[in-house]
């Protein structure tokens, strides 16, 4: 009776448990209700042991890097990096934006401005490195913004890398 999970399945209805218990009772004797209780106890024990042996792997959070000034950094969009800091950009500076769209009628390429990334009237910004991520960048009077990311994301300091030349070997220092 220890492999009841293979015989009828532990998720079976009570009617199936009673039927199996009746078969066991006819073959070996015993009280029907006691056999049913024992079958349920075996299944509970199997479930507990199964849960104890289950390894749940949690995905590491996706990182949003913060610059030394506390603002989030886009690794792919220098225009967004300036927009999120509240800088005003000229039309010429916006042409450095990799986010563009084409006007369907005139086939004119246009560059997205800061207002495209920010949800109007809020401190919530579209993050260009991850199209599904919205980041809150709130000013708090300290000069360093409060950056909030949703569950599954984390913030980390931006790693500034510089090249170091030693003789003919180029190394990377942090």
27-56 pLDDT tens trace: 888 888 888 888 878 877 776 666 666 666
Using 70 as the pLDDT threshold, list the residues of the chain that sit under it: 1-9, 47-56, 158-174
pTM of the predicted protein model: 0.57
Beta-bridged to residue 172, according to DSSP, are 163
Q: Which 8-state DSSP code applies to residue 122?
A: S
Going by their DSSP bridges, the two strands 62-66 and 146-148 should be labelled as unpaired
Ordered by start, the domain boundaries in the chain are 4-53, 62-166
């Amino acid at each position: 009776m220890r492999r009841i999970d293979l015989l009828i399945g532990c998720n079976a209805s009570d009617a199936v448990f009673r039927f199996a218990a009746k078969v066991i009772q006819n073959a070996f004797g015993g009280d029907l209700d006691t056999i049913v209780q024992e079958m349920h106890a075996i299944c509970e024990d199997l479930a507990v042991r199964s849960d104890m042996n289950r390894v749940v792997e949690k995905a590491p959070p996706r990182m949003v890097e913060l610059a030394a000034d506390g603002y989030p950094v886009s690794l792919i969009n220098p225009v967004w990096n300036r927009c999120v800091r509240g800088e005003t950009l000229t039309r010429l500076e916006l042409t450095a934006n990799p986010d563009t769209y084409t006007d369907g009628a005139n086939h004119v390429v246009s560059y997205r401005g800061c207002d495209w990334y920010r949800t109007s009237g809020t401190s919530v910004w579209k993050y260009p490195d991850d199209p599904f991520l919205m980041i809150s960048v709130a000013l708090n009077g300290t000069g360093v913004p409060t950056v909030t990311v949703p569950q599954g994301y984390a913030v980390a300091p931006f790693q500034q890398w510089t090249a170091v030349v030693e003789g003919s070997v180029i190394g990377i220092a942090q």
